[in-house]
Structures are given as C-alpha cells and as structure tokens.
Amino acid sequence: MKIGVFSTFMSPQATPAMIRDFGRQAEDLGMESIWMGEHVALFDRNTYGYPSSKDGRIPVPPGGGMLDVTATFGFLASITRNVRFGTGVALVPQRNPIYTAKEMCTLDWLSDGRIDFGIGVGWNKEEVEACGYGWHDRGARCDEFLTVMQRLWTEEVVDFAGKWVKFETLRMDPKPIQKPHIPIIVGGYADAAFRRAVRFGSGWYGFNRDPAATKEMLAKLDAAFAKEGKQRGPDYQIIITPPPTMPIDAMQDYAALGVHRLLPNLGSQRPERVQERMAELGRLVKLAERW
C-alpha cells in the first residue's frame, strides 16, 4: 500500500514558500502522491452543508480562501520529480469540459505523466449554479463532460453532439503522456457514483472513510461492476482518505481490504502543525512498506 497526503491549500497560510517546502518534503519522505480538494467559491449560506464537518461549513481561515487546483499542481510539478498529483475531487459538472480537458492534459504533459483526475459531482448547490449550470441534472452532465474529455484526450479529431456540448472537427493537443488517457478516479457514495466508477473509472476514491465504511463502499462498488457483467480487477485503484483520528495500526485493516493508496489529511496548515504532521506521515510511509 502506498501513502500519499490530502490537503486543501488555503490562504493566507499556504504561501508559495510553504507549498514549495511542503512539496519537496513530501517527495523526500517518499510519499506517493499529493491530492487537493476543489472549490472555486464559498458562500455564507448554503442549501446543503459540507458533509465532512460537524457544522456543515468548510474550515477556512479568517480572510482566507482555497487555492486553485490547476495552478497549484503546476507550481508543485515544477519543483518535484516523482510525486504524483490528484484532484480530490474536481467538480466536473460545474467546469467547462473543453477547458478542463486542456488543463489536465497540459498538467500531464508538463509533469511527465503524474496526474490523476479525481472527479465528483459536488455538494454545493450555490457553487454549481454560480458557475452557470443546473443542480438537479449535474450527474448526467458529469457523464457527458467525461465522455467529451476522454475523446479529446484520445482522438485526433472529434465531432460531438450532446445535450450540453456541441462541436465539429475539434483538435486538442498535446495529448496526455499517460495512455490511453489520464486516469479517472471517481468519488462518491450514491448508486450513480458507483455506476460512473464502473463506466469511466480507473479507480474509486473514498473520503473520510474508516475501514468499516470502506468495506461497505467496496461491496457497493463490486455490486455495480456485477450489474454491468464485469468484475473489478486487481489494478483498479482503491484510494482512501481516512478520518483524521485514524490510528496507525488501522493501516493493516485498509491493506487487508485491498486499498492501494492511503491519503491521510494534512489538516492544519500552521507551520508548526505541518511539521508535526509530516513527521507522522513519514512514519506511515515506512510502515506501509511492510504491507
């Protein structure tokens, strides 16, 4: 099992110097990947609360905000050589699919094939609508957008006529380094998410899942594969961010479930806490080498 790290970099603490030091230290410690959450805007009032916090709000420092995924990964790619980068998750239904396809294949090109495209449909109704899209049809739109991106990454010339996207004789280069295209890692726990993971995914990503919840979700994933007359193969990536309070010995439980990549949450980005957490993650990397 490989150990990476999940972080949502936020200003004012996530300065260029902090991110530069973090990326180099993560690579020096042998971490396999760095994953980053995405929200382009936050709102004082939301229809639905953030599912990973008790009060329903994303914990953002006063006067701060979340950094853009694409720009941050480009910055990190320029000062590292081996560590991979994953979107955890990119909110596909509120993104322009042509711009997104271009951004991701450019990142893959410039990082020499170190990008994983983690995707989801999102929970923030206000954010989806502010980006110019509808809320209730976001699942169907996600599937169409993923289809568009896969074709742009793999075909020389593309014609497409869908509900949301229409174009003729479109060319997009450079193509991604990774073949057949950038791996798509599907997040989510609804039946539609598991169907999407079977149709589009090279893997499935579970956030804030303990071993018991991971086991339950994998059963649902396997049921979705079976419904399509397929079976999940050994190379299908299972990627989990555990709860922040995960004890070290729980790693064995994740390994026994067949989890390929464990991404503990970095948590606080105060300098002293980052150093403490990185030391903890370094110990996890060494322990994971045993499994």
Place of tokens 């936020």: 10
Contacts of 229 (CB under 8 A, 6+ apart): none
CB atoms within 10 A of CB 195: 18
pTM attached to this predicted model: 0.96
pLDDT in tens, 192-231: 999 999 999 999 999 999 999 999 999 999 999 999 999 9
Phi, psi values for residue 264, rounded to 5°: -60, 150
139-168: buried (b, 16+ CB within 10 Å) or exposed (e) per residue? ebbbbbbbbbbbbbbeeeebebeeeebeee
Low-confidence ranges of the chain (pLDDT < 70): 291
d(CA 180, CA 170): 19
Q: What per-residue confidence (pLDDT) applies to 185?
A: 98
Q: DSSP code of 67? A: P
Tokens of 10: 């936020």
Measured in residues, the chain has a length of 291
Give residue 48's pLDDT.
92
The residue type of 136 is: H
- Provide the token pair at 289: 């080498």
- Which candidate, 130, 128, 153, places its Cα nearest to that of 142? 128
Q: Which three-class secondary structure state does DSSP give residue 64?
A: coil
Q: Where are the beta strands (DSSP E) in 83-146?
A: 84-87, 90-91, 115-120
3-state secondary structure of 234: coil
Sign of CA dihedral 243, 248, 249, 254: positive
Two structure tokens written together for 100: 């997104």
Domains of the chain, start order: 2-288 (3.20.20.30)
What confidence tens digit (pLDDT) does each residue in 136-150 have? 999 999 999 999 999
| Residue owning tokens 């941050």 | 72
pLDDT at 50: 83
Nearest Cα neighbor of 29 from 283, 234, 287, 290 is 283
pLDDT at 64: 87
User: Do residues 185 and 239 lie in contact, with contact meaning Cβ atoms separated by under 8 Å?
Assistant: yes
> Which pLDDT does position 58 carry in this prediction?
81
